A = this chain, B = another copy of it.
């Protein structure tokens, strides 16, 4: 136990990642020590490397989604069914925690993502706060963190491959309120878009259309359930519109879910949805600037309903894990083809994601 613990550290925005060593801290009451097996590498981690998120206390250990075995529990920690966790349990956890259940957003608006006390492992903690990121051999979960046992039919690698894209997409697809037979447009085929594609199909979409790039990811989108994919690098916006109108009897899609991060996608999405349709915007996780919209044509006359979706709460995370258990085949590894990296190769993983070379990157840790 006294062996130092290796963890990847981003020293400061723009600086090279380092593999540093840490000592194991004392656990607080209610705290849990995890021996990690796999961690997710996602677009947010690329943003973190460049300092694009506000309020991040560098140096930090990235990694908000990870999976591992409980090595030690201080006191008693229970699952949602009141069954205590035991050492040796294979678990994951909701990265978001610390929401106060006391403030106006937690208690009156019931929008815990807006709680000012909200913390996120791998993002809002610095090295000074302890082993609070998943890109490490071990990780310390603070009291109050919500853990979930990994279902028996879900491997740690499969879970990490779905990554934070799965619960994020779960939240978005839930807000989309898909009706059986609806045609759904997923804009973007990064991890969130791919997961949204699968979840939209599982929720009853008749046809899922996926727009994005590169070819590699569009191919994955097909495996995840997209009936039609459109490569935005070879088919221009006007052609995309023609194609989608053609596929929808001239009306546009019933529902669109934006998973791109590009503000321009928002105005395009508005044009591709039918009158009286619904638009869930989940991809604009960070600030990429403004876009022009025409409120008369794109919202008012269209009777469009738009729902902004940011972050998740425990219900999304819990149901996302449940989805993985119940519809395991849908998320089989051969569809997602995860690229596996070691902790030492984390910066390489970030490079590959940034350059869209891989569909999905995960870190294999232990």
Q: Which residues of A are interface residues toward B (Cβ below 8 A)?
A: 78, 80-82, 101-105, 107-111, 113-114, 116, 146, 170, 173-174, 179-181, 199, 202-204, 206-207, 249, 251, 258, 263, 266, 274-276, 281-297, 299-310, 313-315, 318-319, 322-323, 326-327
Contact in complex: A299, B281 (CB < 8 Å):
yes
Contact in complex: A114, B306 (CB < 8 Å):
no
The residues of B that contact A318 with a CB separation of less than 8 Å are 107-108
Contact in complex: B326, A181 (CB < 8 Å):
yes
Complex Cα spacing A80 to B266, Å:
30
Contact in complex: B263, A282 (CB < 8 Å):
no
Contact in complex: A114, B300 (CB < 8 Å):
no
Out of B107, B249, B302, B305, name the residue touching A305 (CB < 8 Å): B305
Distance of A146 from chain B, by nearest CB (Å): 7
Complex Cα spacing A296 to B81, Å:
25
- Closest B residue to A205 by beta carbon equals B326
Given contacts A180-B202, A294-B289, A299-B281, contact A308 B304 (CB under 8 A): yes
Out of B114, B181, B310, name the residue touching A322 (CB < 8 Å): B181
Contact in complex: A82, B103 (CB < 8 Å):
yes
- 19 more contacts with CB within 8 A, not counting A104-B251, A281-B295, A303-B308, are A80-B108, A107-B313, A108-B315, A111-B303, A180-B319, A181-B319, A181-B326, A202-B204, A206-B322, A206-B323, A207-B326, A263-B295, A266-B299, A284-B300, A286-B296, A287-B297, A289-B294, A305-B308, A306-B307
Contact in complex: B303, A113 (CB < 8 Å):
yes
Complex Cα spacing A204 to B81, Å:
23
How many chain copies?
Answer: 4
Distance of A2 from chain B, by nearest CB (Å): 32
The residues of B that contact A290 with a CB separation of less than 8 Å are 292-294
Complex Cα spacing A275 to B115, Å:
11
The residues of B that contact A282 with a CB separation of less than 8 Å are 300
Could you write out 5 A-B pairs with CB less than 8 Å apart? A107-B318, A108-B315, A283-B300, A289-B294, A290-B292
Distance of A291 from chain B, by nearest CB (Å): 6
Given contacts A108-B80, A180-B319, A294-B263, contact A309 B300 (CB under 8 A): yes
Given contacts A80-B102, A294-B287, contact A310 B300 (CB under 8 A): yes
- Closest B residue to A316 by beta carbon equals B108
Distance of A65 from chain B, by nearest CB (Å): 18
The residues of B that contact A274 with a CB separation of less than 8 Å are 109
Out of B104, B206, B302, name the residue touching A308 (CB < 8 Å): B302
Complex Cα spacing A199 to B179, Å:
11
Given contacts A110-B315, A114-B275, A308-B305, contact A288 B284 (CB under 8 A): no
Complex Cα spacing A170 to B181, Å:
11
Contact in complex: B291, A293 (CB < 8 Å):
yes
Contact in complex: A199, B180 (CB < 8 Å):
yes
Distance of A107 from chain B, by nearest CB (Å): 4
Out of B179, B288, B306, B309, name the residue touching A306 (CB < 8 Å): B306
The residues of B that contact A199 with a CB separation of less than 8 Å are 180
